[in-house]
Structure 1
Amino acid sequence: MKKLLIIILIGVGFYQWSVKKSNPIVTPDNKSQTASYQDSNTVKNAYENRHSNVQVKGSGTVIRILPDDNEGSRHQKFILQLSSGQTLLVAHNIDLAPRINSISNGDSVLFYGEYEWNSKGGVIHWTHHDPNGRHVGGWLKHNGRTYQ
Protein backbone atom coordinates (compact mmCIF):
# COMPACT_ATOMS: atom_id res chain seq x y z
CA MET A 1 0.00 0.00 0.00
CA LYS A 2 2.83 2.39 0.87
CA LYS A 3 4.63 1.61 -2.40
CA LEU A 4 1.44 2.27 -4.38
CA LEU A 5 1.00 5.68 -2.70
CA ILE A 6 4.62 6.63 -3.49
CA ILE A 7 4.22 5.58 -7.12
CA ILE A 8 1.03 7.65 -7.42
CA LEU A 9 2.70 10.71 -5.88
CA ILE A 10 5.69 10.39 -8.21
CA GLY A 11 3.33 10.04 -11.19
CA VAL A 12 1.34 13.13 -10.21
CA GLY A 13 4.55 15.13 -9.71
CA PHE A 14 5.89 14.05 -13.11
CA TYR A 15 2.58 14.89 -14.78
CA GLN A 16 2.54 18.40 -13.27
CA TRP A 17 6.15 18.97 -14.35
CA SER A 18 5.46 17.77 -17.90
CA VAL A 19 2.39 20.02 -18.23
CA LYS A 20 4.51 23.08 -17.40
CA LYS A 21 7.00 22.10 -20.11
CA SER A 22 4.36 21.35 -22.74
CA ASN A 23 3.89 22.98 -26.10
CA PRO A 24 1.52 25.93 -26.36
CA ILE A 25 -2.18 25.38 -26.11
CA VAL A 26 -4.39 27.07 -28.66
CA THR A 27 -7.43 28.44 -26.88
CA PRO A 28 -10.82 29.09 -28.52
CA ASP A 29 -9.93 32.75 -29.04
CA ASN A 30 -6.80 31.58 -30.93
CA LYS A 31 -4.30 33.00 -28.43
CA SER A 32 -1.16 30.95 -27.82
CA GLN A 33 -0.38 30.31 -24.18
CA THR A 34 2.31 28.36 -22.37
CA ALA A 35 1.69 27.86 -18.67
CA SER A 36 5.33 28.05 -17.61
CA TYR A 37 5.93 31.40 -19.32
CA GLN A 38 3.09 33.55 -18.03
CA ASP A 39 5.21 35.13 -15.25
CA SER A 40 5.72 38.83 -15.95
CA ASN A 41 9.19 38.58 -14.42
CA THR A 42 10.40 35.97 -16.94
CA VAL A 43 12.12 38.53 -19.19
CA LYS A 44 13.80 40.17 -16.20
CA ASN A 45 14.94 36.80 -14.84
CA ALA A 46 16.22 35.68 -18.25
CA TYR A 47 18.22 38.90 -18.58
CA GLU A 48 19.66 38.77 -15.06
CA ASN A 49 20.66 35.10 -15.49
CA ARG A 50 21.89 35.50 -19.10
CA HIS A 51 19.44 32.91 -20.40
CA SER A 52 18.48 32.56 -24.04
CA ASN A 53 15.94 30.50 -25.99
CA VAL A 54 13.25 31.31 -23.43
CA GLN A 55 9.64 31.69 -24.61
CA VAL A 56 8.26 34.86 -22.98
CA LYS A 57 5.15 36.99 -22.95
CA GLY A 58 4.98 40.62 -21.89
CA SER A 59 4.42 44.21 -22.88
CA GLY A 60 6.34 47.42 -23.23
CA THR A 61 6.35 50.93 -24.61
CA VAL A 62 8.04 51.74 -27.92
CA ILE A 63 10.97 54.08 -27.23
CA ARG A 64 12.80 53.83 -30.55
CA ILE A 65 12.00 52.66 -34.06
CA LEU A 66 14.99 51.32 -35.95
CA PRO A 67 15.50 50.80 -39.68
CA ASP A 68 14.45 47.42 -41.04
CA ASP A 69 17.10 44.74 -41.26
CA ASN A 70 16.98 43.68 -44.92
CA GLU A 71 19.85 41.17 -44.92
CA GLY A 72 18.56 37.61 -45.21
CA SER A 73 15.06 37.39 -43.75
CA ARG A 74 13.69 40.91 -43.40
CA HIS A 75 12.95 42.11 -39.86
CA GLN A 76 11.11 45.15 -38.56
CA LYS A 77 13.04 46.39 -35.51
CA PHE A 78 12.12 48.58 -32.58
CA ILE A 79 13.03 48.94 -28.92
CA LEU A 80 10.55 48.50 -26.09
CA GLN A 81 10.96 49.69 -22.54
CA LEU A 82 9.38 47.33 -20.04
CA SER A 83 7.75 48.47 -16.79
CA SER A 84 10.91 47.28 -14.98
CA GLY A 85 12.95 49.83 -16.96
CA GLN A 86 14.67 47.10 -18.98
CA THR A 87 14.89 47.66 -22.72
CA LEU A 88 14.26 44.97 -25.28
CA LEU A 89 14.93 44.86 -29.01
CA VAL A 90 12.07 43.39 -31.02
CA ALA A 91 13.12 41.72 -34.29
CA HIS A 92 9.85 40.90 -36.07
CA ASN A 93 10.20 38.80 -39.25
CA ILE A 94 8.23 40.65 -41.92
CA ASP A 95 8.79 37.94 -44.51
CA LEU A 96 6.59 35.63 -42.40
CA ALA A 97 4.26 38.05 -40.61
CA PRO A 98 2.64 41.40 -41.39
CA ARG A 99 4.58 44.55 -40.63
CA ILE A 100 3.20 46.96 -38.03
CA ASN A 101 2.90 50.04 -40.23
CA SER A 102 1.26 52.35 -37.71
CA ILE A 103 3.78 51.93 -34.88
CA SER A 104 5.10 55.09 -33.17
CA ASN A 105 7.18 56.03 -30.16
CA GLY A 106 5.05 55.86 -27.01
CA ASP A 107 2.84 53.05 -28.32
CA SER A 108 2.17 49.99 -26.19
CA VAL A 109 3.04 46.59 -27.68
CA LEU A 110 2.29 43.16 -26.27
CA PHE A 111 4.60 40.35 -27.33
CA TYR A 112 4.95 36.60 -27.26
CA GLY A 113 8.21 35.25 -28.63
CA GLU A 114 11.63 33.84 -27.91
CA TYR A 115 14.04 35.81 -25.72
CA GLU A 116 17.75 35.92 -26.52
CA TRP A 117 20.11 37.48 -23.99
CA ASN A 118 22.47 40.34 -24.78
CA SER A 119 24.11 42.98 -22.59
CA LYS A 120 21.68 45.70 -23.74
CA GLY A 121 18.57 43.96 -22.37
CA GLY A 122 17.93 41.21 -24.88
CA VAL A 123 16.13 40.50 -28.13
CA ILE A 124 12.68 39.09 -28.79
CA HIS A 125 12.24 37.17 -32.02
CA TRP A 126 9.98 34.37 -33.32
CA THR A 127 7.10 36.85 -33.01
CA HIS A 128 5.38 35.06 -35.89
CA HIS A 129 4.09 31.63 -36.88
CA ASP A 130 6.51 28.89 -37.95
CA PRO A 131 5.55 27.76 -41.46
CA ASN A 132 7.37 24.47 -40.81
CA GLY A 133 5.55 23.86 -37.51
CA ARG A 134 8.75 23.16 -35.56
CA HIS A 135 8.75 26.22 -33.29
CA VAL A 136 6.17 27.77 -31.01
CA GLY A 137 4.28 30.47 -32.87
CA GLY A 138 4.65 33.97 -31.49
CA TRP A 139 2.88 37.28 -32.01
CA LEU A 140 2.86 41.02 -31.46
CA LYS A 141 -0.27 42.98 -30.51
CA HIS A 142 -0.60 46.67 -31.28
CA ASN A 143 -3.74 48.82 -31.19
CA GLY A 144 -6.02 45.80 -30.93
CA ARG A 145 -4.50 43.96 -33.89
CA THR A 146 -2.45 40.76 -33.71
CA TYR A 147 0.56 40.35 -36.00
CA GLN A 148 1.68 36.74 -36.43
Structure 2
Amino acid sequence: MKATGIVQKIFADDLDGNKHQRFTLRLKNNKTVLVIHNIDLAPRIANLHVGDKVEFMGVYQWNKLGGMVHWTHHDPHGKHPSGWIKHHEKLYQ
Protein backbone atom coordinates (compact mmCIF):
# COMPACT_ATOMS: atom_id res chain seq x y z
CA MET A 1 0.00 0.00 0.00
CA LYS A 2 1.31 3.42 -0.95
CA ALA A 3 -0.55 6.43 0.43
CA THR A 4 -0.40 9.77 2.21
CA GLY A 5 -2.00 10.63 5.52
CA ILE A 6 -2.11 13.14 8.35
CA VAL A 7 -0.86 12.11 11.79
CA GLN A 8 -3.83 11.82 14.15
CA LYS A 9 -2.25 10.29 17.25
CA ILE A 10 1.23 9.27 18.37
CA PHE A 11 1.65 6.33 20.73
CA ALA A 12 4.56 5.32 22.92
CA ASP A 13 7.11 3.14 21.17
CA ASP A 14 6.53 -0.59 21.46
CA LEU A 15 9.73 -1.87 23.06
CA ASP A 16 8.76 -5.57 23.43
CA GLY A 17 10.87 -7.65 21.05
CA ASN A 18 11.62 -5.67 17.90
CA LYS A 19 11.16 -1.96 18.64
CA HIS A 20 8.42 -0.09 16.77
CA GLN A 21 7.38 3.54 16.48
CA ARG A 22 3.56 3.69 16.36
CA PHE A 23 1.12 6.34 15.17
CA THR A 24 -2.21 6.65 13.39
CA LEU A 25 -2.77 8.39 10.07
CA ARG A 26 -6.00 9.70 8.57
CA LEU A 27 -6.01 8.88 4.86
CA LYS A 28 -7.66 10.82 2.01
CA ASN A 29 -10.67 8.46 2.18
CA ASN A 30 -11.14 9.56 5.83
CA LYS A 31 -10.17 6.10 7.17
CA THR A 32 -7.47 5.76 9.79
CA VAL A 33 -4.64 3.23 9.91
CA LEU A 34 -2.12 2.39 12.58
CA VAL A 35 1.45 2.60 11.30
CA ILE A 36 3.91 0.25 13.00
CA HIS A 37 7.43 1.32 11.92
CA ASN A 38 10.28 -1.02 12.92
CA ILE A 39 13.00 1.16 14.48
CA ASP A 40 15.40 -1.75 14.83
CA LEU A 41 15.62 -1.92 11.02
CA ALA A 42 15.02 1.72 10.04
CA PRO A 43 15.66 5.10 11.65
CA ARG A 44 13.06 6.49 14.01
CA ILE A 45 11.05 9.31 12.41
CA ALA A 46 12.38 12.50 13.93
CA ASN A 47 10.14 15.34 15.14
CA LEU A 48 6.87 13.60 14.27
CA HIS A 49 3.84 15.63 15.42
CA VAL A 50 0.05 15.41 15.23
CA GLY A 51 -1.04 17.19 12.05
CA ASP A 52 2.09 16.29 10.06
CA LYS A 53 1.77 14.92 6.54
CA VAL A 54 3.37 11.49 6.05
CA GLU A 55 3.79 9.51 2.84
CA PHE A 56 4.42 5.79 3.13
CA MET A 57 4.81 2.47 1.39
CA GLY A 58 4.15 -0.68 3.37
CA VAL A 59 1.95 -3.71 3.83
CA TYR A 60 -1.65 -3.06 4.84
CA GLN A 61 -3.27 -5.61 7.13
CA TRP A 62 -7.00 -5.26 7.82
CA ASN A 63 -8.46 -5.53 11.32
CA LYS A 64 -11.79 -4.52 12.86
CA LEU A 65 -10.30 -1.22 14.08
CA GLY A 66 -9.41 -0.06 10.57
CA GLY A 67 -6.17 -1.84 9.87
CA MET A 68 -2.45 -1.39 10.23
CA VAL A 69 0.52 -0.76 8.01
CA HIS A 70 3.86 -2.45 8.64
CA TRP A 71 6.97 -3.34 6.58
CA THR A 72 7.73 0.39 6.25
CA HIS A 73 11.45 -0.45 6.05
CA HIS A 74 13.93 -2.44 4.01
CA ASP A 75 14.03 -6.23 4.29
CA PRO A 76 17.53 -7.20 5.47
CA HIS A 77 17.02 -10.68 3.96
CA GLY A 78 15.82 -9.42 0.57
CA LYS A 79 12.72 -11.64 0.58
CA HIS A 80 10.08 -8.93 1.00
CA PRO A 81 9.44 -5.72 -0.95
CA SER A 82 11.01 -2.81 0.86
CA GLY A 83 8.80 -0.09 2.30
CA TRP A 84 9.53 3.46 3.43
CA ILE A 85 8.15 6.54 5.17
CA LYS A 86 8.64 10.12 3.97
CA HIS A 87 8.27 12.95 6.49
CA HIS A 88 9.38 16.56 5.90
CA GLU A 89 11.08 15.47 2.66
CA LYS A 90 13.27 12.93 4.51
CA LEU A 91 13.02 9.25 3.56
CA TYR A 92 13.10 6.63 6.34
CA GLN A 93 13.76 3.09 5.17
Q: How high is the TM-score relative to the length of structure 2? A: 0.98
For residue 72 of structure 1, the aligned residue among 5, 17, 20 is 17
Matches within 5 A, 1:1-148: 56-148=1-93
Q: Which runs of 5+ in 1 are unaligned?
A: 1-55
> How far has the Cα of 1:120 moved from its partner?
1.3
> Which structure dedicates a bigger proportion of its chain to helix?
1
Q: Considering only aligned residues, what root-mean-square deviation do their CA atoms show, in Å? A: 0.5
Matched residue type, 2:73: H
> How far has the Cα of 1:132 moved from its partner?
0.4
CA distance in 1, matches of 2:30, 2:64: 14
Matched residue type, 1:146: L
Q: Which runs of 5+ in 2 are unaligned?
A: none
Superimposed CA distance per residue, residues 71-120 of structure 1 (whole angstroms, 9 cap, x where no aligned partner): 11000000000111100000000000000121000000001000111111
> Which structure dedicates a bigger proportion of its chain to strand?
2
How many pairs were matched up? 93
> How far has the Cα of 1:143 moved from its partner?
0.2
Matched residue type, 1:104: H
Matched residue type, 1:127: T
Percentage identity across paired residues of the two chains: 53
CA distance in 1, matches of 2:39, 2:84: 12
CA distance in 2, matches of 1:60, 1:70: 25
Larger radius of gyration: 1
